[in-house]
C-alpha cells in the first residue's frame, strides 16, 4: 500500500522546527500551519526536538530561551497550535530523510500537510532539505509549504540574535523580534521570606539549567497565575546582593497587590522592560524605598495594559 494511502486516525498539519523562543519567523510557520489545518479540517500541530540540534552536533551546550513547556504554551497561546509533537533528536537523526517523511510524519503522525522554514534540516546527518521535503511530499500526495527568511530592521529574525538581546536585558527589543514578551515559567520555590519582612512578599523562581539568564537587574513584568489571571510584578534577576548575595541567580518577583500563597504552584513571568541594574544598597530601608519606586514605575508602564489584568 502506498504511504499516502495509509489512513491515520488523526489528520495533522505539522509545522517543523525547534522553535526556541517562538519568535516572529516561527510565528510565520505556525500561522501557516493553522491556516492549512483550517482548510483541510485537520489538527494544527508543531514538531520539535527534546534537545537543541547544535548541542548534539557540536558537543557544546546551546543556551535556550525557553523550556519545552514554555515553547508549547507560546505556540498554543499566541498561534492556536493544538498539539506539540516532542521527539528525541538522537532517534530522529537515526532515520534517513526519506524515513522521517514517509514513516514518521505520514505513517506515524498522520501528516496531510507540513510547513518548514527555509533552513530546516532533518534526517541522518541533516541530509534532508526543504527542497527534498517538498519533492517527496509531492510524490506522496501531501502538501508542503516552505517559509522564506523573515527580517526585521534589516536583521534576520533568529533565536541566536534574540538570545544575545535578552542576555543584555533589552526586553523591549526582544519583544519586537519575538512578537510577544520573553517568558519564564517555573514552580514557585520557598525563599527566605525577607521580602515579607520588608513589606513586599515575593515569589522565587529558579532558572532551569541551560536557559538564557537575562542580565542582572530589575524588570517590569507580568505574572500569570495558575488560574490564568495576570498580575503586575517587579522582578529582580540576580543574586540579591543587599540581603543574600547568593551565587546562584534566580528570579524574585514582587506581585503588586497580591497576598496569596503560591508555593508549589507554577507561575509564568512575562518580561517587558528593564528598570535598573541590580545593585547593593547600604541598608534594607534604602532597598525598600527603591522597590517601592520600581513598583510605581511598573504601574505607570502598564497603565495602558488593563486588558491583561
Grade residue 2 by pLDDT with cuts at 50, 70 and 90.
very low
Average pLDDT over residues 232-244: 79
Instruction: For the chain, give the longest Cα–Cα distance.
Output: 76
Instruction: Report pLDDT digits (tens) over 239-297.
Output: 865 556 566 788 999 999 888 888 888 999 999 999 999 888 878 888 888 899 999 99
17 neighbors 46 (Cβ within 8 angstroms):
yes
Cα gap 227→240, rounded to integer Å = 29
The three-class DSSP label of residue 117 is strand
Task: Count Cβ atoms within 10 A of the Cβ of residue 212 and give its class: 0-12 exposed, 13-18 middle, 19 or more buried.
Answer: buried
Task: Give the chain's end-to-end CA distance (angstroms, integer).
Answer: 54
Extended beta strands in 175-282, E state: 182-187, 203-206, 217-224, 230-238, 250-255, 266-277
pLDDT above 50: residue 223: yes
pTM: 0.87
From the CA atom positions of the chain, what is the Rg in Å? 22
Cα-Cα-Cα-Cα torsion 239, 242, 197, 263, nearest 10 degrees, comes to: 0
Grade residue 90 by pLDDT with cuts at 50, 70 and 90.
confident
For the chain, helix (H) and strand (E) counts, in that order, are 10, 13
Other CB atoms within 10 A of residue 263 CB: 12
Grid cell, residue 258, equals: 497580591
Other CB atoms within 10 A of residue 107 CB: 15
Per-residue model confidence (pLDDT) at position 4: 45
SS3 percent helix, strand, coil of the chain, rounded to 5, is: 35, 25, 35
Per-residue model confidence (pLDDT) at position 56: 60
Residue appearing with cell numbers 546527518: 125
265 neighbors 160 (Cβ within 8 angstroms):
no
Residue appearing with cell numbers 532551569: 208
Residue appearing with cell numbers 528593564: 274
Of the CA atoms within 13 Å of residue 108, those in its CB half-sphere come to 11
Instruction: Report pLDDT digits (tens) over 5-57.
Output: 456 789 999 999 999 999 999 999 999 999 999 999 999 999 998 877 765 65
Grid cell, residue 188, equals: 514557585
Instruction: Report pLDDT digits (tens) over 149-199.
Output: 999 999 999 999 999 999 999 999 999 999 999 999 988 877 655 555 556
Per-residue model confidence (pLDDT) at position 306: 52
CATH top class, domain 181-304: mainly beta
Per-residue model confidence (pLDDT) at position 221: 97
165 neighbors 177 (Cβ within 8 angstroms):
yes
Domain ranges for the chain, please list them.
9-155, 181-304
CATH top class, domain 9-155: alpha beta
Per-residue model confidence (pLDDT) at position 61: 75
Amino acid at each position: 500500500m502506498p504511504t499516502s494511502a495509509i489512513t491515520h486516525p488523526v489528520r495533522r498539519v505539522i509545522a517543523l522546527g525547534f522553535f526556541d523562543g517562538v519568535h516572529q519567523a516561527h510565528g510565520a510557520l505556525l500561522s501557516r500551519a493553522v491556516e492549512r489545518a483550517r482548510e483541510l479540517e485537520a489538527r494544527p500541530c508543531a514538531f520539535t526536538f527534546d534537545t537543541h540540534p547544535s548541542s548534539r552536533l557540536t558537543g557544546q551546550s546551546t543556551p535556550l530561551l525557553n523550556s519545552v513547556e514554555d515553547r508549547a504554551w507560546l505556540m498554543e497561546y499566541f498561534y492556536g497550535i493544538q498539539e506539540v509533537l516532542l521527539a528525541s533528536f538522537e532517534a530522529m537523526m537515526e532515520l534517513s530523510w526519506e524515513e522521517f517523511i514517509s514513516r514518521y510524519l505520514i505513517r506515524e503522525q498522520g501528516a496531510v500537510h507540513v510547513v518548514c522554514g527555509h533552513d530546516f534540516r532533518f534526517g541522518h546527518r541533516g541530509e534532508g532539505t526543504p527542497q527534498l521535503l517538498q519533492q517527496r511530499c509531492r510524490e506522496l500526495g501531501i502538501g508542503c509549504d516552505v517559509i522564506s527568511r523573515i527580517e526585521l530592521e534589516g536583521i534576520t529574525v533568529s533565536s541566536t540574535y534574540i538570545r544575545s538581546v535578552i542576555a543584555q536585558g533589552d526586553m523591549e527589543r526582544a519583544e519586537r523580534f519575538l512578537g510577544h514578551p520573553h517568558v519564564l515559567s517555573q514552580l514557585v520555590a520557598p525563599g527566605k521570606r525577607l521580602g515579607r519582612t520588608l513589606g513586599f512578599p515575593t515569589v522565587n523562581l529558579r532558572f532551569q539549567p541551560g536557559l538564557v539568564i537575562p542580565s542582572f537587574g530589575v524588570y517590569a513584568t507580568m505574572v500569570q497565575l495558575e488560574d490564568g489571571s495576570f498580575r503586575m510584578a517587579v522582578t529582580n534577576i540576580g543574586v540579591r546582593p543587599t540581603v543574600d548575595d547568593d551565587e546562584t541567580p534566580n528570579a524574585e518577583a514582587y506581585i503588586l497587590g497580591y497576598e496569596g500563597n503560591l508555593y508549589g504552584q507554577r507561575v509564568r513571568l512575562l518580561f517587558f522592560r528593564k528598570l535598573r541594574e541590580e545593585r547593593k544598597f547600604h541598608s534594607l530601608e534604602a532597598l525598600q524605598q527603591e522597590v517601592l519606586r520600581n513598583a510605581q514605575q511598573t504601574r505607570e508602564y502598564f497603565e495602558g495594559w488593563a486588558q491583561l489584568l
